[in-house]
């Protein structure tokens, strides 16, 4: 599956994926939604998650390695703004611990649900294959490394 990427690229990606995952997992709140429903009928954000999404990026000096984790969080937020798909894939793989196969299935289900047209080179096949998912991870890691 990964023969389209060099061994050096795969090793570098694996190293940095582990590094970013350890920081990022510590910053992301455990709960996304609370039991309440908003006026529009959608689930409400859990207060911790809402603070995490909207917080002012202020340093927390009492936390061990807080500056490093904050820096990682800033990079991931920037990635979310400029490359949403890479961010979503990295979140699922690095924070939730999904396998590439699971994330590829999620990408395809999402594409079908949102009626996204098939790519021209795969008119009758799936929207994404595992190579595509791996390419999104590699691109996201490369971006994070460059801006960290």
Reading the chain (148 residues) residue by residue, the pLDDT tens digits are 546 889 999 999 999 999 898 887 776 666 666 777 777 777 777 776 776 666 654 444 444 455 777 788 889 989 999 999 999 999 999 988 999 999 999 999 999 999 999 999 999 889 999 999 999 999 999 999 998 8
pLDDT at 61: 47
Name residue 33's beta-bridge partners.
45
Distance CA 81, CA 99 (A): 24
Kindly calculate the radius of gyration of the chain based on its CA atoms and give it in whole angstroms. 17
The single residue listed with the structure tokens 């061994």 is: 7
What b/e readout covers 22-54, taking b as 16+ CB neighbours within 10 angstroms? Answer: ebbeeebeeeeeeeeeeeeeeeebbeebeebee
């Amino acid at each position: 599956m990964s023969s389209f990427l060099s061994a050096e690229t795969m090793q570098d990606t694996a190293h940095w994926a582990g590094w970013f995952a350890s920081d990022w997992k510590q910053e992301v709140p455990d709960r996304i939604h609370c039991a309440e429903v908003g006026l529009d009928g959608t689930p409400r954000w859990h207060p911790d998650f809402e603070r995490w999404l909207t917080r002012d990026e202020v340093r927390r000096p009492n936390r061990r390695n807080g500056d490093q984790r904050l820096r990682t969080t800033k990079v991931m937020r920037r990635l979310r703004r400029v490359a949403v798909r890479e961010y979503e894939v990295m979140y699922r793989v690095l924070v939730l611990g999904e396998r590439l196969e699971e994330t590829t299935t999620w990408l395809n289900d999402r594409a079908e649900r949102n009626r996204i047209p098939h790519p021209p080179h795969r008119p009758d096949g799936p929207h994404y294959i595992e190579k595509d998912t791996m390419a999104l991870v590699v691109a996201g890691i490369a971006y994070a490394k460059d801006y960290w």
